[in-house]
Every structure is written in structure tokens, then in C-alpha cells.
């Protein structure tokens, strides 16, 4: 695991400013505290910070080909590196280390850009081919490892995090207002945009080619290309179990201590069960880590303890406290661009706790997106059935009536579910499917909140376009399959994996997601929808695959989600920081929002009449980010 950065000049004779290059990579030291390496060539500079996981002594980067013409830095792990190494040695390649990353240099040398189709792992790669005078960068299939870039016209600059690009001093910090609108709508910015108009994020499963100042991006893998298969239920369940066990086993490769995040849900519990199995049934060899809350409706620690006890793991846990003022400031600034998924706090805290004991942690991320775990799928199915009976006007009237009821302080609860369900139908367009319940600021609310200047600048934009495009690119009419594909491309890639990568790497902890193993993903996308959600039961085939692995009470447990009681904390410990960041003077000076509308949201939330936590927290994040990235000198 590493942080990488680099500069590629259009003029290949122009020398690289080594001081600038090192400044870029050293702001990424948290991603790689163990080692630093760089190479400066005419027109090209590559650098990295290393977190040593495999071949601790010999894995120094950059790596280069035998003739010294190809140079590479990379972030991530290549799980099939031993198989590739054997093939490449048979072709005559010579290796200087046991590192999994060195395989990439020789694989490119042997197969060109098609080597990406052979590599199984999580990675962000940056490679300079001196023979063809071409720069190549690539990301893994799901987008576990990040890569950002900026093309100034004369120079291409890249880094694992935006802060690396900004540290170059070569890119202006102009705000992309369409990205700002995306953030207020979804709580994150959708690839390829970032909050900065001059900086872009390379999409997952894509590679970038830069030659003589010309930049092009291409896709090398697509879940939509996976052919559906007629599966018998028992055969599908057995195939899933076998592929999942193999994925966990592969991802346990490490020369340093490793463990697992454990929430007590199906996905993380399944990872732990397979880790114990791969450890010869010795549960104490597996370290597990959990984070809970004093608020009982949010606290999942009893379930995590039950799983840890069942498999006799070496278990540790902590509690998230409501006083997050210092942590809020630290993490929002660290994230480089606005990001308002509140589970970033427990993710950081469980990562920090785990890092005291291990260097690598496996997680259950990806299980919902490939096997159909979210309740928004069920909500969309129900909404479509109701639409055949009730006109939308009736639903809008019902939403207005339900909106008069005060929200519950509980995490979900029947009242909160009903309010969210009818509001999603009333406020968001039907053609974004289940994203009706994954968007948090409808058009009507924006008209009251956004200044006329901001609204004018967004006249030609469509904040729902990326969702519609993802839903329409799945290559099928199967609605659930389209929804899963959209979540793989958008929600997983731009929310879940961003959160886990940034928060874990902030503590110098590597995380891995066995559910995102390419073999398991392709298997999952070949399984028909009726085996994923059957008679309303989500993740049906995964549960069948795990029925002899996990206890029934875990398999029957409803989806909870890794969240925190932000709505309650904004009425208590976090109220002062909310009042400060969203003070009318600050809002007026920023020029994006109506101070009166923001104050109205605050007052309504504090009174308990409404739950505006999603919008208010997003506005708090945006203001603190703007102070750091736009107002302060970095």
C-alpha cells in the first residue's frame, strides 16, 4: 500500500523539478510511512511513499524493467502475482525482488496494456514507457485505490490524493459548481468530477494514456459485459461459497499482521468466518475490530461480540463519542474535497484502533452491491407497485401530511422509514430508480437554499445524469441488475470505497475487500436477479451459500448500515460548531446559499420538528472544506 505522485511534461526535454515532486509525494506520507522512492527522467518524474506489506525488505519502488526503459510506481496489492510471476519467468523475465508490484513492470513489458486484464487485485498504477515515450496510469476494477490527475495543457500531474496535486502549486483551485451540486445532492462527488474544475478522478476499471501532450482514457473491464447464466440454486450457492472462500484466502497474503473489521452484519461476519477457516480453524489467529455507540438503536456491538465469540477471534472494540469537534476538523480537512457520509467517523476510529495491532484489515464492503443487500431496492419495487394504484399527486399529498410528523430519534423505526419512503417518491424523479432514496436535497429544496447566482450557473447541468447513464449502461432490461451495476459504478466507487480508503490510510492501515475479488464479482453478475432477491429477501443466494457457515441469527438479521446518530448530536454536542460554521455572515460571504434558508433549516432541526441532519452536516462539511482549501494557504 502506497501513495504515488508524478509529473509528466509534454516537452520530453524539460527537466523535472525534483523538489516539487518530493513535496507532492511527502504530503502523502500517511499512505506510506515506511519508505520513499522516486525517479527523475527527462520530462518525467515518478515518486512514491510505501507502506510495506509484501516483501518488506525488497519491495522498494520505483521498479524498472531489465533494460531500464520502463519505470513504475503503484499503490495496492496484486493477489495473483505468484501465478503471473511463474508465467513471466517462463517467458524469460528476471526479477530482483519478491514484491507483488514488480510483476506489473514485466507484465506490461510482455503484454502491453492488455496486462491489466490478467491482473487481479486492488491498485493504482503509474508507468512510464521510455521506448514508446508514453505514460500509462490505471485503476483496479472496483476502484478500491484512488488516482487523480490534472492536465494543464503542457503538463500532466497525478497523485493518489488531491492534496498531492495541489502541493505541486501548478493547478488552480477553481470550484466545479456542478460537482458542488452533486455533493449537496448525494453527499459525495461523482467520478470523473472532483470539487476542483481542473482536477479529475480516473474512473475504476479504466486506464489513462498520455502521449505527446494528448490524453485519452479507456475502459479495460466492465461488469456489464458478464454474460448471464442459467443457475440452479444449489449450484449457484456452492459456486458463491467456493469463490468467496478463495477470495478471502487470496487476500490474506501478507508479511505483516492482519485482521478484519466486524460489524456483526452478514458480510463482515462472512469474511471473519472464512478467515478463521483459512487459518485452520484457529479463531484466535484472527484479529477482529468493532466500533459501537451509546445510542442503543445505532449500536451493533452485541452482534459483533456474538460473531467474535462464535469464531473465538481475538476481538477488540471501541465506542464513538458524540463530541467529534476536534475529529471533525481533522478529517474534513484531510479529505481534500467535500464528503458527508457520516460513517467516516466510526470508519476512522475503528481503523485507528486496528492499526495499533495490525497493518492490514479485511472488510465486508461490496457484498450489498453485488448480491442485492440495500433496502432501497425493496423501496423501489414497492414504489413501482404503488404507482400502478395511486397517482403521484396522492403520494405527494401523503408526503406533505407525513412531513408534519416529528422525526424519531431512533436510527430507523417505522415512522422514519415511512417518512423517507414517501418523500423519496414525491421529491425525486422515478427514472433514477432506487437513488430516489439516496439523494438528500431535491430540486424544490435547492430553489429555496441556492442563491440565484448558483442556480443560474447550474441551468445547463443535470445532477441526475450520472445515475441515469449508469442505470442505462448495464446492458440489460433487468431492473435489479441495472441498480446493482449503478451502485458498483457510483455509490460503491465514489462513497463507500472513498470513505474506507481515506479513513484507513489516514491511520496508515491497508484495507482489503474480498467481495470485490474479480472472480467473485463476475460470478455474482452472472447470477439472475431472482436468486439475489427472492420474495423480498435480500442477498438470498449469498445467505444460501453461508447457511452452514454463519449462525441463523446473523443470517436473519436485517441490514443496518454503518451510521451514527448525527441528527441527535447536531441537537447536542455538535450544535455549537454547526451554529458557528453556518452563521449567516459566513454563508453570505461564501455566496452559494441563502443565509435565511440555512438559518431556517437549523432552527427547524434544533426544535425537533424536522430532521435536516443530512443537509446541515453537508453544509458544515462544505464550509469547513472551503475554509481550508480556498481561504487558507496550504
* 45-104 pLDDT per residue, tens: 999 999 888 777 778 899 999 999 999 999 999 999 999 999 999 999 999 999 999 999
Q: Considering the chain, what is the average pLDDT of its residues?
A: 92
Residue 62 lies in a domain: yes
Same domain membership, residue 267 and residue 292:
yes
Are 6 and 16 a contacting pair, CB within 8 Å? no
User: Where residue 295 falls among pLDDT bands split at 50, 70, 90?
Assistant: low
Residue in the structure block whose three cell numbers are 458524540: 322
pLDDT at 217: 98
CATH of the domain at 190: 3.60.20.10
Higher pLDDT, 231 or 409: 231
User: Nearest to residue 3, comparing CAs of 218, 133, 167?
Assistant: 167
pLDDT exceeds 70 at position 322: no
* 149-167 pLDDT per residue, tens: 999 999 999 999 999 999 9
Distance between CA 70 and CA 260 in Å, rounded?
36
pLDDT at 26: 97
| DSSP at 359 | S
Residue 445 lies in a domain: no
* 100-127 pLDDT per residue, tens: 999 999 999 999 999 999 999 999 999 9
Rounded to the nearest angstrom, the gap between the alpha carbon of residue 226 and the centroid of all alpha carbons in its chain is 22
Same domain membership, residue 138 and residue 71:
yes
Same domain membership, residue 179 and residue 200:
yes
Residue in the structure block whose three cell numbers are 511513499: 49
The segment with the largest mean pLDDT, out of 117-121, 304-308, 342-346, 402-406, is 117-121
Residue 491 lies in a domain: yes
Last residue of a domain, one of 221, 244, 268: 221
pLDDT exceeds 80 at position 382: yes
Question: Model pTM?
Answer: 0.94
Average pLDDT (266-285) is 95
Same domain membership, residue 170 and residue 284:
no
pLDDT exceeds 90 at position 406: no
Residue 540's SS3 state is helix
Distance between CA 376 and CA 335 in Å, rounded?
27
Same domain membership, residue 569 and residue 544:
no
Distance separating the N- and C-terminal Cα atoms of the chain: 25
Average pLDDT (249-278) is 94
Structural domains counted in the chain: 3
pLDDT at 403: 59
List C-alpha distances in Å: 265 to 171, 245, 378, 530, 557. 43, 17, 18, 22, 7
Last residue of a domain, one of 178, 197, 221: 221
Same domain membership, residue 147 and residue 38:
yes
Residue 434 lies in a domain: no
pLDDT at 634: 44
Residue 496 lies in a domain: yes
Residue in the structure block whose three cell numbers are 495543457: 153
Distance between CA 516 and CA 142 in Å, rounded?
7
* 499-521 pLDDT per residue, tens: 999 999 999 999 999 999 999 99
Same domain membership, residue 229 and residue 140:
no
User: Where residue 575 falls among pLDDT bands split at 50, 70, 90?
Assistant: very high
Q: How many residues does the chain have?
A: 634
Average pLDDT (593-619) is 95
pLDDT exceeds 70 at position 562: no
Write out the residue range of the structural domain in which residue 295 sits.
Answer: 225-322+337-372+484-555
pLDDT at 399: 56
List the single range of 109-113, 269-273, 448-452, 557-561 with lowest mean pLDDT.
557-561
pLDDT at 414: 64
Average pLDDT (373-384) is 90
List the single range of 5-14, 412-421, 440-449, 488-497 with lowest mean pLDDT.
412-421
pLDDT exceeds 90 at position 298: no
pLDDT exceeds 80 at position 390: no
Residue 405 lies in a domain: no
pLDDT exceeds 50 at position 498: yes
DSSP 427-461: HS-GGGGGGGGS--S-HHHHHHHB-HHHHHHTTT-
Are 360 and 339 a contacting pair, CB within 8 Å? no
Residue in the structure block whose three cell numbers are 509484501: 54
Higher pLDDT, 404 or 306: 306
* 163-209 pLDDT per residue, tens: 999 999 999 999 999 999 999 999 999 999 999 999 999 999 999 99
A 10 A CB-CB count for 376 gives 21
pLDDT at 408: 59
User: Where residue 418 falls among pLDDT bands split at 50, 70, 90?
Assistant: confident
Residue 390 lies in a domain: no
Same domain membership, residue 506 and residue 591:
no
User: Where residue 297 falls among pLDDT bands split at 50, 70, 90?
Assistant: low
Amino acid at each position: 500500500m502506497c501513495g504515488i505522485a508524478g509529473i509528466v511534461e509534454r516537452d520530453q526535454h524539460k527537466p523535472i523539478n525534483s523538489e516539487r515532486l518530493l513535496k507532492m509525494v511527502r504530503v502523502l506520507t500517511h499512505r506510506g510511512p515506511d519508505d520513499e522512492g522516486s525517479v527523475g527522467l527527462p520530462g518525467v518524474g515518478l515518486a512514491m511513499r510505501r507502506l510495506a506489506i509484501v516483501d518488506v525488505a525488497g519491495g522498494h519502488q520505483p521498479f524498472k524493467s531489465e533494460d531500464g526503459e520502463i519505470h513504475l510506481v503503484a499503490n495496492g496489492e496484486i493477489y495473483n502475482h505468484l501465478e503471473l510471476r511463474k508465467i513471466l519467468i517462463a517467458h524469460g523475465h528476471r526479477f530482483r525482488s519478491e514484491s507483488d508490484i514488480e510483476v506489473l513492470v514485466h507484465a506490461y513489458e510482455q503484454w502491453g496494456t492488455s496486462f491489466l486484464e490478467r491482473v487481479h487485485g486492488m491498485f493504482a498504477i503509474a508507468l512510464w514507457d521510455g521506448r514508446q515515450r508514453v505514460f500509462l496510469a490505471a485503476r483496479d476494477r472496483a476502484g478500491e485505490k484512488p488516482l487523480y490527475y490534472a492536465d494543464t495543457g503542457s503538463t500532466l500531474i497525478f497523485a493518489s490524493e488531491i492534496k498531492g496535486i495541489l502541493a505541486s502549486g501548478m493547478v488552480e483551485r477553481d470550484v466545479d459548481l456542478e460537482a458542488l451540486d452533486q455533493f449537496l445532492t448525494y453527499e459525495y462527488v461523482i467520478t470523473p468530477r472532483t470539487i476542483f474544475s481542473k482536477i479529475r478522478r480516473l474512473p475504476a476499471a479504466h486506464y489513462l494514456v498520455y502521449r505527446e501532450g494528448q490524453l485519452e482514457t479507456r475502459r479495460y473491464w466492465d461488469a456489464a459485459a458478464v454474460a448471464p447464466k442459467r443457475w440452479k440454486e444449489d449450484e449457484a450457492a456452492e459456486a458463491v461459497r467456493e469463490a468467496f472462500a478463495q477470495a478471502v484466502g487470496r487476500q490474506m497474503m501478507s508479511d505483516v499482521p492482519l485482521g478484519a473489521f466486524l460489524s456483526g452484519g452478514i458480510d463482515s461476519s462472512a469474511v471473519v468466518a472464512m478467515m478463521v477457516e483459512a487459518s485452520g480453524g484457529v479463531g484466535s489467529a484472527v484479529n477482529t475490530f468493532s466500533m459501537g455507540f451509546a445510542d442503543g438503536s445505532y449500536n451493533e456491538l452485541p452482534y459483533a461480540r456474538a460473531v467474535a465469540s462464535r469464531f473465538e477471534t481475538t476481538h477488540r472494540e471501541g465506542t464513538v463519542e458524540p463530541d467529534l469537534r476536534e475529529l471533525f476538523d481533522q478529517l474534513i480537512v484531510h479529505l481534500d474535497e467535500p464528503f458527508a457520509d457520516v460513517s467516516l467517523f466510526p470508519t476512522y476510529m475503528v481503523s485507528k484502533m486496528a492499526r495499533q495491532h495490525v497493518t492490514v484489515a479485511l472488510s465486508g464492503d461490496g457484498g450489498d452491491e453485488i448480491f442485492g443487500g440495500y433496502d432501497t431496492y425493496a423501496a423501489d419495487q414497492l414504489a413501482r407497485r404503488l404507482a400502478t394504484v395511486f397517482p403521484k399527486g396522492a403520494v405527494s399529498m401523503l408526503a406533505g401530511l407525513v412531513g408534519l410528523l416529528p422525526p424519531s430519534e431512533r436510527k430507523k423505526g417505522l415512522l422514519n422509514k415511512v417518512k423517507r419512503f414517501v418523500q423519496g417518491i414525491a421529491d425525486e424523479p422515478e427514472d433514477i430508480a432506487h437513488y430516489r432514496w439516496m439523494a438528500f436535497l431535491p430540486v424544490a429544496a435547492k430553489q429555496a437554499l441556492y442563491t440565484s447566482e448558483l442556480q443560474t450557473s447550474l441551468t445547463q447541468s443535470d445532477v441526475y445524469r450520472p445515475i441515469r447513464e449508469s442505470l442505462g449502461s448495464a446492458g440489460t432490461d433487468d431492473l435489479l441488475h441495472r441498480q446493482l451495476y449503478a451502485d458498483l459504478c457510483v455509490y460503491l466507487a465514489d462513497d463507500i470505497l472513498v470513505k474506507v480508503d481515506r479513513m484507513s490510510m489516514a491511520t496508515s492501515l491497508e484495507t482489503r475487500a474480498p467481495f470485490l475479488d474479480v472472480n467473485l464479482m463476475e460470478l455474482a453478475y452472472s447470477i439472475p436477479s431472482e436468486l439475489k432477491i427472492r420474495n423480498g429477501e435480500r442477498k438470498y443466494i449469498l445467505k444460501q451459500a453461508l447457511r452452514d457457515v454463519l449462525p441463523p441469527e446473523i443470517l436473519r438479521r436485517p441490514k443496518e448500515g454503518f451510521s451514527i446518530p448525527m441528527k441527535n448530536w447536531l441537537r447536542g454536542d455538535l450544535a455549537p460548531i454547526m451554529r458557528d460554521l453556518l452563521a449567516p455572515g459566513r454563508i453570505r460571504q461564501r455566496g452559494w446559499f441563502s443565509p435565511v434558508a440555512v438559518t431556517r433549516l437549523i432552527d427547524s432541526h434544533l426544535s425537533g420538528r424536522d430532521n435536516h441532519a443530512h443537509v446541515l452536516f453537508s453544509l458544515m462539511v462544505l464550509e469547513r472544506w472551503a475554509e481550508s482549501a480556498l481561504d487558507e494557504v496550504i
